[in-house]
Amino acid sequence: MLSQATIPLWTAVAALAASLSAVMAAIYTGLTYRLVRAQGEPKVVAYVRSDPDRQTVLMIRVENIGRDIATDIAFTASRQLPAKAYGLSAEDAKPAEVMTAGPLIHGIPVLGPGDSRDITWGQFGGLLKALGTEPIDLEFTYRHGRRRLSGHSRLEVASYVGTDASENPSAASARSLEKIANAAQVIVNEVRLREAERRRQGSAV
């Protein structure tokens, strides 16, 4: 049986426990709401990738990996972005141009879920000559309805040192088949010309 002296103490403990429970419930509800909302938001990312059909070419891909539409996507780079930076080695590469047009300069009005933009950036040697080993920090903002979201990425080529840039087998096969088809078409055209010439000579006799 509780004495009169201990009742206020246990009342305070019960009140504190109730307060902590309410706070934990509020935190849990808030986290759950944020998680559910995030699952239905757009998620814009930007990164460097090799072109699967042109193995020596590097591209910048901007992609919406979220579940809703992103609008008014705008980019800010920490320094000028090179463009058309071609060359397999830095020693043989020509000076790159400065990017003055395209999605990273003028932005992207709308990017749907799973949609992307691929920007041909250049080859490893040309980009390494233009960038050095320091990456470019790329900040971007976009809208989801009235909310403004943001993201950050780093564009770099130094990690491609020593990676395999051999030609994609499927691309090589497709190119070989195209050459064979072109050669076959030349032969067919030649046969047709000779056949037409033979008929003209036959009709003239």
Percent of the chain's residues with pLDDT above 70:
68
State how far the Cα of 70 lies from the Cα of 43, in Å rounded to an integer: 8
Residue 33 has a pLDDT of 46
State how far the Cα of 60 lies from the Cα of 50, in Å rounded to an integer: 9
State how far the Cα of 198 lies from the Cα of 192, in Å rounded to an integer: 10
Name the pLDDT band for 194 (thresholds 50, 70, 90): confident
State how far the Cα of 61 lies from the Cα of 120, in Å rounded to an integer: 9
Measure CA of the first residue to CA of the last residue in the chain; give whole Å: 134
State how far the Cα of 39 lies from the Cα of 68, in Å rounded to an integer: 9
pLDDT digit string, tens, across residues 125-161: 999 999 988 999 999 999 999 999 999 999 999 888 8
Q: Answer whether residue 175 shows pLDDT above 60.
A: no
State how far the Cα of 70 lies from the Cα of 19, in Å rounded to an integer: 40
Kindly report the pTM of this predicted structure: 0.64
Name the pLDDT band for 36 (thresholds 50, 70, 90): very low
Strand partners, 139: 76, 152
pLDDT, average across residues 41-61 = 93
Contact 199, 191 (CB under 8 A): no
Contact 79, 12 (CB under 8 A): no
Name the nearest CA neighbour of 50 among 166, 196, 139.
166
Residue 181 has a pLDDT of 65
Residue 66 has a pLDDT of 95
Q: Answer whether residue 67 shows pLDDT above 60.
A: yes
